[in-house]
Structure 1
Amino acid sequence: MTLPSEATARHTLDELRGISWQPFGREDLPAIAAFYTECEAYDENPERSSLADLEEFWDSPRSVPEEDTLVGREADGRVVATAWAGCNRAITERRGVRLAGAVRQDRRGEGIGRAVLQWELAHGLAWDDATRRPGYGPLVMRMFVPTDQADVRDLATRHELPTERYFFEMSRRLDEPIAVPSIDGVRLVDWDVARNDEVHQVMDEAFREHWGHTDATAEMWQEGIDSHGFRPAWTVLAIDDNTDRVIGAAMNYAWEQDWEPQGYTEGYTDQLGVLRSHRGRGIAVALLRESMRRFSESGMDAAGLGVDAANASGALRLYENLGYQRTASTCAHQFTRPQPE
């Protein structure tokens, strides 16, 4: 596949009938959030966006919306499409670009999605060309799509973004009391902001062998902790009694925008990690069960999480044994430009 230059791709967008384009402005975010809600409901996406998500993106010091985003509107101001190629400028070992454009359902089939994706890819390539330095890793541009969204998956494949991975969303009802096992030499404790940096290091180490992982910068980690969805009261740390050090954690969130579409409330374990040196002792099970107990005490109907279907650690089997069931499937389409010799 030969991509156009970014300037040519932008010209193609500008030539689309009845649509004017400009970068996201903060004043645009409520309309863009409503647009995503409409699209995601139509496509039955398992994960939904919210205005708070967009505001946090906009306000992040790492974000450059004036370069990485475009919103397309009709003459009456109604949002038709977004083009979003979020370049991660904080990490250099793998240069990541998140492809997150969308097209309103009544304007699909007009070539808008193709033009949007070509601009996103061209923008990612142009950014990499302009900012690459010796020692930087490969460029990876990635798009996450519900498995059954055939039109977008076909568009990705035609632009040489093959399917790299499948992910399952899983949920477990909390209809019965939750028993939390005890583990010799390990105690489960509440979130402690004084241990923030320690937890960050443990989670990076625990996830280091996982597909697609790169260690988070301190700023990226803090953005997750400061997120509107993070629930300190639900989050659980595992502490080694001998060393008084963190050896694992369940980082728990409330994605309230998902509750109405899915029909139930849910506490969500966004990250579950245990140091390799302490695995095989049931710590992950204890962290999940304690998380479930806290969700239930807060009135949640269910506990949820996501899993890489090809995770080599046996996580999928662990979750199924604990009663989690698959509720949705998402695939990652990926374009990779190898690291220069």
Structure 2
Amino acid sequence: MTSARGLESALRPERLPAGYGCRAATRADADTIHGLVAAYEGALHGRTTTGADRIAAELALPGLRPQYDTLLVHDAAGGPAGYGWVKGRRARVHVHPGHQGRGLGGALLGWAETRARHTGSDRLAQTVPDADGAASALLRARGYSRLVTEWLLEIALPGEPEVPDPPGGITVRPFRHGDERAVYQLTEDAFDEWQPRRKSYPEWARCTVERTTFLPAASPLAFAGDQVVGAVLALDVPGHDEGYVDRVAVRRDHRDRGIARVLLRESFRTFHRLGRPACTLWTHSGTGALSLYQSLGMTVRLGSTVYGRALVAPAGPADRVSRP
């Protein structure tokens, strides 16, 4: 039986470049990690696209054990140089732009693969901005292949958007306290068509309605009678002058009726009234929704690719840790 400390040590990268050390991240590191991610995104895109609350939410996800599932790399002066995060089949790796080209990306990727194997995952996927050619090349060289394409879409809001009337039998109102469970059911049912696994309610809530940036006023819901059949969940991210739509879902039996169009325009109108000059959202090729967003006047700002590969299980028992 392997001790917790022993497993934590065993899953650290075998080789880090000279002058670097590492440790597990904690929730108290959320701002430090966000600073690293913001520097990476700023160097790549000229702006930050990830909010600090997203990092905090990921570190607090149910089932995530930061002492095993995260890795924070620091330089000789103790400054953040790289960050890795693994949960199930998903990984996230970032290297500070001031420390790129030194092998940290490869070390973190190797750590992520080892960690995923020890939790029993047979595959691993990672999203990489298309502008990061070095990271894409590294993944391809390690046997990763393209799974789906993601796009960050934007729409300018110079004037108040017109909102069409909802289709017959449908009413629309903003999200209210008490809607959480119904909206969870709706969105997870809709996303079951393309997401690899269904989230538990605590995990879903941590990443949506429990985020400090969740904005109910810009999150309209569509009802058929007393049943939720459509939802837009929006965020108001500090430090950004744009609105952000985090999720869009319509129940299967109410699709192709214009409900998503009504909800999105309602959200856009709210952001315009709040003084936001634009609104953004992410989508990917698995949803088939790109044409809908483009028909609303949204355009592609930047793209990313999700890469994945199969993993070979470790020879020993998976993740056997003695508990205090």
Instruction: Give the structure-1-normalised TM-score.
Output: 0.82
Equivalence for 2:99: 107
Match of 1:48 in 2: 49
Describe the shift of the 1:333–1:239 C-alpha distance in structure 2 as closer, same or farther (beyond 3 A): same
SS at match of 2:216: coil
- Say which SS state the counterpart of residue 12 (structure 2) adopts: helix
Q: Distance in 2 between matches of 1:49 and 1:268?
A: 11
* 1:189-228 correspondence runs (5 A): 189-210=173-194, 212-223=195-206, 224-228=208-212
Q: Distance in 2 between matches of 1:184 and 1:157?
A: 50
Task: State yes or no: 1:292 paired with 2:275.
Answer: no
RMSD: 2.4
**Percent identical residues:** 24
**Cα deviations across residues 25-55 of structure 1 (Å, max 9, x unaligned)?**
3444433332222222112277633443333
* Cα 1:118–1:7 shift into 2, 3 Å: farther
2:231 match: 249
Q: Distance in 2 between matches of 1:106 and 1:171?
A: 29
Q: Is the 8 A contact 1:141 1:335 kept in 2?
A: yes
How far apart are the structure 2 equivalents of 1:207 and 1:61?
20
**Does residue 232 of structure 1 match 2:216?**
yes
Aligned equivalent of 1:271: 247
Structure 2 distance, partners of 1:309, 1:287, is 21
The answer to whether structure 1 residue 283 and structure 2 residue 265 are counterparts is: no
Could you say which residue in structure 2 is the equivalent of 1:166?
149
1:126 paired residue among 111, 118, 141 = 118
Equivalent residues, number: 305
Partner SS, residue 110 of structure 2: helix
CA contact (8 A) 2:149 2:306 kept: yes
Secondary structure class of the residue paired with 1:99: strand
Per-residue Cα deviation, 1:126-152 (whole angstroms, up to 9, x for no partner)? 121xxxxxxxxx633211111121100
SS at match of 2:264: helix
Cα distance per residue 1:262-319 (max 9 Å; x no partner): xxx222221111111111211111111111111111111112212213534xx21111
- 1:98 deviates by 2.6
The one-letter amino acid paired with 2:268 is: M
Bigger drift between 172-181 and 45-54 goes to: 45-54
Q: Contact conserved, 1:170 with 1:327, CA < 8 A, in 2?
A: yes
Q: Is the counterpart of residue 71 in structure 1 residue 72 in structure 2?
A: yes
What SS does structure 2 have at the residue aligned with 1:101?
Answer: strand
Which residue number corresponds to residue 10 of structure 1?
12
> Is this contact kept in 1: 2:51–2:237, CA < 8 A?
no
- Supply the distance in 2 between the matched residues of 1:305 and 1:32 (Cα, whole angstroms): 23
**How many Å apart are 1:6 and its aligned residue?**
9.3
The change in CA–CA distance for 1:73 and 1:323 in structure 2 (over 3 A counts) is same
CA contact 1:169–1:307 (8 Å) conserved in 2: yes
Counterpart position of 1:117: 109
CA distance in 2, matches of 1:11, 1:172: 42
Give the conservation status (yes or no) of the 8 Å contact 2:148–2:305. yes
Distance 1:6 1:155, change over 3 A: farther
Q: 1:10 to 1:43 in 2, by over 3 A?
A: same
Does the aligned pair in 2 maintain the 1:167–1:331 contact within 8 Å? yes
SS of equivalent to 2:17 = coil
Question: Unaligned regions of 5+ residues in structure 2, if any?
Answer: 1-6, 314-324
2:294 is aligned to: 320
Q: Report the CA distance between 1:153 and its aligned residue.
A: 0.3
Q: Determine if contact 1:274/1:283 at 8 Å carries over to the other structure.
A: yes
Report the alpha carbon displacement of residue 336 of structure 1 after superposing the two structures with TM.
3.2
Q: Decide whether aligned partners of structure 1 residues 56 and 109 sit closer, same or farther in structure 2, where only a CA change above 3 A counts.
A: same
How far apart, in 1, do the equivalents of 2:28 and 2:264 lie? 40
What residue number does 1:329 align with? 303
Displacement over 6 Å in runs of 4+: 5-9
| Closer, same or farther: CA 53–276 of 1 in aligned 2, 3 Å | closer
